[in-house]
């Protein structure tokens, strides 16, 4: 894969799917900058840029720093929080917070990054299967993930002439800090690992994903082998959405 000497910026790259992607891209020789509110817990060789994606100035500054010496080739947007509630029980503040971090930040990141992709480029937004089908009580989260999917198509159409491809990945349940904090919330007496296993059981493959498995798909979509793929959404969900709840 032609990843040598590519310049990549990953929003939300300090943990979870973003961190797995940072490691995968670095292993293939790319230069990687991580923009995140949190510092990565392990050292990686990536450039770390503190950034709150709710703030337009910080997002622009992150792009500026990642592209000081060279154009940007790849952008990954992998920030996410999950709040629980229906439309009625979700507060306006919670809704705005989820939109700001999960979706509006992607708009800000792409708005700043696309002009820096002077040689063309590729963008991957990390959405969720919950953009297509959802659990109870995730109104704000599902709406934010649906926004990412629609934004993916809009940007793919608008920036194809600049040779910029834009795709979305839609993971099922992945073993990340975000999902672990959800599991903790719902685990009760069963304990966190048991809850994760139960959530995994809902997927036909019988387990939750490792973040690396999602990073592999992102890496593919960024690379040359995906050169004719744009405006697309790829599920990596262990078969979750292929299955009806009806059992024999």
Q: Point out the residues that are catalytic.
A: 141
Residues 66, 179, 196, 221: which binds ligand BMA (CB under 6 A)? 179
234 contributes a contact to ligand BMA by CB under 6 A: no
Give the CA diameter of the chain: 60
Q: Give min distance, CB of 54 to ligand BMA, in A.
A: 20
Residues 39, 41, 89, 135: which binds ligand BMA (CB under 6 A)? 135
Stretch that binds ligand BMA, among 16-24, 57-65, 125-133, 157-165 (CB under 6 A): 125-133
Report the residue count for the chain. 248
Decide if 221 contacts 75 (C-beta within 8 A).
Answer: no
Binding-residue pattern over the window 43 to 82 for ligand BMA, x denoting contact by CB under 6 A = ---------------------------------------x
Residue 183: both structure tokens together:
């599991």
- Residues touching ligand BMA: how many (CB under 6 A)? 10
Stretch that binds ligand BMA, among 4-12, 128-136, 184-192, 209-217 (CB under 6 A): 128-136
199 contributes a contact to ligand BMA by CB under 6 A: yes
Q: Give min distance, CB of 91 to ligand BMA, in A.
A: 19
195 contributes a contact to ligand BMA by CB under 6 A: no
Decide if 81 contacts 35 (C-beta within 8 A).
Answer: no
What contacts 34, CB < 8 A, 6 or more positions away?
10, 13, 14, 18, 19, 22, 40, 44, 46, 47, 48, 49
Q: In the chain, where does DSSP find H-type helix?
A: 16-27, 56-66, 92-98, 105-113, 139-159, 177-187, 192-201, 211-222
What are the Cα distances from residue 170, in Å, to 54, 74, 120, 145, 237? Answer: 22, 18, 24, 9, 7
Query: Cβ-closest residue to ligand BMA?
Result: 128
Chain residues in the site for ligand BMA (CB under 6 A): 82, 128-130, 135, 172-173, 179, 182, 199
């Amino acid at each position: 894969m032609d990843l040598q000497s590519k310049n990549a910026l990953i929003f939300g790259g300090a943990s979870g799917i973003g961190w797995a992607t940072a490691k995968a891209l670095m292993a293939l020789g790319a230069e990687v900058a991580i923009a995140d509110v949190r510092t990565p817990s392990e050292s990686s060789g990536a450039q770390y840029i503190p950034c709150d994606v709710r703030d337009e100035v910080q997002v622009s500054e992150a792009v500026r720093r990642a592209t000081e010496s060279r154009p940007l080739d790849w952008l990954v947007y992998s920030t996410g929080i999950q709040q629980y509630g229906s439309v009625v029980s979700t507060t306006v503040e919670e809704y705005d917070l989820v939109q700001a971090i999960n979706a509006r930040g992607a708009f800000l990141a792409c708005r700043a990054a696309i002009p820096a992709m002077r040689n063309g480029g590729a963008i991957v937004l990390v959405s969720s299967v919950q953009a297509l089908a959802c659990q109870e009580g995730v109104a704000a989260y599902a709406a934010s993930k649906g926004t990412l999917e629609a934004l993916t198509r809009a940007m793919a159409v608008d920036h194809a002439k600049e040779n910029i491809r834009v795709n979305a990945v839609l993971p099922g349940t992945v073993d990340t800090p975000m999902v672990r904090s959800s599991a903790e919330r719902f685990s009760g007496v069963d304990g966190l690992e048991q809850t994760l296993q139960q959530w995994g059981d809902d997927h036909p493959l019988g387990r939750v994903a490792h973040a690396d498995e999602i990073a592999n798909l992102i890496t593919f979509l960024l690379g040359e082998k995906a050169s004719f793929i744009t405006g697309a959404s790829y599920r990596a969900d262990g078969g979750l959405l292929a299955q009806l709840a009806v059992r024999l």
